[in-house]
Amino acid sequence: MRSVIPPETMNIPLEDLQYVTSLEEIIYGGTLVAITLAMHGFGMVWTSRAIAAVKQRFARNESFVLGIGVIILASWMIILVHLVEVLVWAGFFLAKGAMPNFSLAYYFALLDYTTLGCPYNLPLHWRLLEGMIAIAGLMTFAWSTGVLLTLAQDFQDQQLQILKRRRAKLAHQPT
């Protein structure tokens, strides 16, 4: 026999028990996730092209500092892409009257996008979006991690090749 836990023992407000997921929420949430991923795709291509241009411009200089600089530049660009994506969610929350002002909407969206969670909640009829923004954030952070991992691997490979060349040069020098 299955026992049912009374809502009052779980500290669930009565109004929250009235929540029903709506098709409107699912459509808006799915659309916002799709927009976020499209923006992220554009942002990752933009980042990759910019980094390729920087690498080509400084191809002769294989320094450690330049390599780290490229990774830092890519990181800044990726952060900018994420912040713009959060802007779209915040704009939606503000446009739908789910948040009272832009600052709070952006703060809320950023905390939920990063899956930190926020002490505030959306109005009852938009609650599903709290989870959907976290899904969007998880997917885009995974994508960003892949881009940074590729750059970091290239940097490490380059540094190992420099080290091999130095060792080979030292090994062939007369003593």
DSSP output for 80-128: HHHHHHHHHHHHHHHHTTSSSSHHHHHHHHHHHHTT---S----GGGTH
- How many degrees, rounded to 5, is the angle at CA 88 between CA 85 and CA 91? 150
Model pTM above 0.75? yes
Question: Would you say 42 and 142 are in contact if contact means Cβ atoms under 8 Å apart?
Answer: no
**Mean pLDDT within 35-63:** 93
How far is Cα 131 from Cα 137, in angstroms, rounded to an integer? 10
Instruction: Mean pLDDT check: name the lowest of 60-74, 78-92, 98-112.
Output: 60-74
